[in-house]
Amino acid sequence: MSIYDFKINSLSGQTIDFSNFKGKYLLIVNVASKCGFTRQYEDLQKLHELHGDDLAVIGFPCNQFGTQEPGKPQEIQAFCSTNFGVTFPLALKIDVKGKNQHPLYTWLTSKEHNGVKNTSVRWNFQKYLIGKDGRLMEVFYSITGPMNKRITKLIV
């Protein structure tokens, strides 16, 4: 299975079809509204605006870490739009680890599926960078901000 085989519903009720991102970098981030890293939404939006022709940022709300994303879809969307001007796609809330892990995150975290490496999601705002060829390039933990050179040098 390829990253381009995934489809997921967005907070706004549309389908996010990963096949539409062929030829672009993808930055997949598990997000939360009540986290110490929540301000990263600002830089995620900046990345989206600066590199939108070559990069798709997609946020995945998750309530598995400290119950820091308790909101309903409309609340999450309103919070992100109002506080950070978020216009990049946000998926419906999912599990990124454990027995109910979403298949996308199974692909992201399992070398058996992504062909590159095994990882585990440690906290909110962990970032997975996918190359223009659809292969996993790198994983960045929460402390690495979206505008960090470790990320931006890979997408330019």
**Any idea what the CATH number is for the domain that residue 61 is in?**
3.40.30.10
DSSP annotation of 150 reads H
* Tens digit of each residue's pLDDT, the chain (156 residues): 899 999 999 999 999 999 999 999 999 999 999 999 999 999 999 999 999 999 999 999 999 999 999 999 999 999 999 999 999 999 999 999 999 999 999 999 999 999 999 999 999 999 999 999 999 999 999 999 999 999 999 997
Query: What pairing do the DSSP bridges indicate for beta strands 127-130 and 25-31?
Result: antiparallel
Cα 106 to Cα 98: distance, rounded to the nearest angstrom: 10
pLDDT computed for residue 61 by the predictor: 98
Q: Which of 11, 26, 27, 35 is catalytic?
A: 35
**Based on the structure, what is the number of domains in the chain?**
1
Q: Smallest Cα–Cα separation from 129: which of 65, 58, 46?
A: 58
pTM reported for the whole predicted model: 0.96
Range of the domain at 129: 3-152
pLDDT the model gives residue 117: 97
How much is the pLDDT for 156?
A: 77
Active site residue 80: no
Residue 50: closest CA among 19, 25, 67: 25
Report d(CA 91, CA 93) in Å as an integer.
6
